[in-house]
Structure 1
Amino acid sequence: MLSTARFSLEWEKVRGSSVNSSCPPTIMSASTDPYKLLLAGYSGKVASYTFTPPSTLTLDAEVQGEAGKSPSWAAFSPSLPVAYVCDEDESKGMVHALSLPGLQKAGHATETDGKGPCSAIVVGHLLFVANYLTGSTSIHSPTSSDGSLVSTTPSRIIPFHRFPPGSTGPVSSRQDRSYAHQVIADPSGRFVYIVDLGADQVHRLRVPESGRADEVEAVGETEIEEGAGPRHLAFHCDSATGHTYAYLACELNTTLLAFHVDPKDGSLQPIGEAQSSLPPGLDAGGTPADGNARTTSEIAVSPCGRFVDVGTRGDPEEDHIAVFARRESGQVEWVGWDGVGGRNLRHFSLSTDGKWVAAASQNDGRVVMLRRDDESGRLTMTGEASIDFEKVAFAGFVAAGR
Structure 2
Amino acid sequence: MARQQEGDAPAPRKLLIGAPFQIFTADFDGSKFSITSTNTTSGTAPSWLLPRKPNLVYAVDENGYDLSVFNLSEDKTSLNYLSSASGSGGVVFLEFNSDQTRIVGAAYGRGAVDVWDSSDPNGSIKYMQRIEASKLVEPSPGQDSNHPHQALLDPTGRWFVIPDLGGDKLLLLDSQDDRWEMTVAASFPAGTGPRHGGFIQAGDNNTFYAVASELSNELFLFQLHYAAADATVTFTQVQKQSTYGAAFPPANATSAAAGELAVAPNQRDVYVSNRLSGNATDSIAHFVFDAGERSPGLRFADTVSSGGILPRMFSLGQTDDDDDDAALLFVANQGGENGLVALRRCNDTGALDPTPVATLPNKALVAEELAATPNMGPQFVLEI
Residue 99 of structure 1 deviates from its aligned partner by 2.2
CA RMSD of aligned residues (A): 2.5
The answer to whether structure 1 residue 45 and structure 2 residue 31 are counterparts is: no
Aligned equivalent of 1:96, options 64, 68, 84: 68
- 1:132-186 Cα offsets, whole Å, 9 max, x none, are 111101111133113x1333xx210000128774x642xx2xx222011111111
Determine the structure 2 residue equivalent to 1:14. Answer: none
Unaligned runs of 5+ in 1: 3-31
Once residues 244 and 80 of structure 1 are traced to their aligned partners in structure 2, the CA distance between those partners, rounded to angstroms, is: 30
The answer to whether structure 1 residue 302 and structure 2 residue 288 are counterparts is: no
Listed as ranges, the matches of 1:157-176 within 5 Å are: 157-161=130-134, 165=138, 168-169=140-141, 172=142, 175-176=143-144
| Gap change, CA 1:378 and 1:136, over 3 Å in 2 | same
The answer to whether structure 1 residue 131 and structure 2 residue 83 are counterparts is: no
Aligned equivalent of 1:227, options 191, 200, 204: 191
1:48·1:62 contact (CA, 8 Å) conserved in 2? Answer: yes
Aligned equivalent of 1:201, options 156, 169, 172: 169
2:345·2:351 contact (CA, 8 Å) conserved in 1? Answer: yes
**Secondary structure of 2:288 counterpart:** strand
User: Given residue 89 of structure 2, which amino acid in structure 1 is its aligned partner?
Assistant: K
Give the structure-2-normalised TM-score. 0.83
The answer to whether structure 1 residue 81 and structure 2 residue 47 are counterparts is: no
Determine the structure 1 residue equivalent to 2:372. Answer: none
Aligned equivalent of 1:117, options 91, 95, 116: 91
Once residues 266 and 107 of structure 1 are traced to their aligned partners in structure 2, the CA distance between those partners, rounded to angstroms, is: 39
Determine the structure 2 residue equivalent to 1:23. Answer: none
Once residues 276 and 206 of structure 2 are traced to their aligned partners in structure 1, the CA distance between those partners, rounded to angstroms, is: 35
User: Given residue 150 of structure 1, which amino acid in structure 2 is its aligned partner?
Assistant: I
**Secondary structure of 1:161 counterpart:** helix
Determine the structure 2 residue equivalent to 1:71. Answer: 46
- 1:288-331 Cα offsets, whole Å, 9 max, x none, are xxx84222100001101121101001233101011001112441
Residue 382 of structure 1 deviates from its aligned partner by 5.2
Residue 102 of structure 1 deviates from its aligned partner by 4.5
Once residues 182 and 266 of structure 1 are traced to their aligned partners in structure 2, the CA distance between those partners, rounded to angstroms, is: 20
| Gap change, CA 1:119 and 1:145, over 3 Å in 2 | same
User: Given residue 96 of structure 1, which amino acid in structure 2 is its aligned partner?
Assistant: S
Using the aligned pairs only, state the percent identity: 23
The answer to whether structure 1 residue 333 and structure 2 residue 299 are counterparts is: yes
Aligned residues: 347
Determine the structure 2 residue equivalent to 1:247. Answer: 210
User: Given residue 233 of structure 1, which amino acid in structure 2 is its aligned partner?
Assistant: G
Once residues 216 and 136 of structure 2 are traced to their aligned partners in structure 1, the CA distance between those partners, rounded to angstroms, is: 20
Once residues 309 and 348 of structure 2 are traced to their aligned partners in structure 1, the CA distance between those partners, rounded to angstroms, is: 28
Listed as ranges, the matches of 1:227-376 within 5 Å are: 227-238=191-202, 240-264=203-227, 265=231, 267-284=233-250, 292-315=254-277, 316-329=279-292, 330-352=296-318, 353-364=325-336, 366-376=339-349
**Secondary structure of 1:275 counterpart:** strand
| Gap change, CA 1:331 and 1:33, over 3 Å in 2 | farther
Residue 261 of structure 1 deviates from its aligned partner by 2.3
Determine the structure 2 residue equivalent to 1:392. Answer: 378
| Gap change, CA 1:219 and 1:229, over 3 Å in 2 | closer
| Gap change, CA 1:305 and 1:155, over 3 Å in 2 | same
Once residues 214 and 328 of structure 2 are traced to their aligned partners in structure 1, the CA distance between those partners, rounded to angstroms, is: 24
| Gap change, CA 1:385 and 1:358, over 3 Å in 2 | same
Unaligned runs of 5+ in 2: 3-9, 319-324, 367-376
Determine the structure 2 residue equivalent to 1:217. Answer: 181
Once residues 295 and 93 of structure 1 are traced to their aligned partners in structure 2, the CA distance between those partners, rounded to angstroms, is: 26
1:302·1:308 contact (CA, 8 Å) conserved in 2? Answer: yes
Give the structure-1-normalised TM-score. 0.79
| Gap change, CA 1:280 and 1:33, over 3 Å in 2 | farther
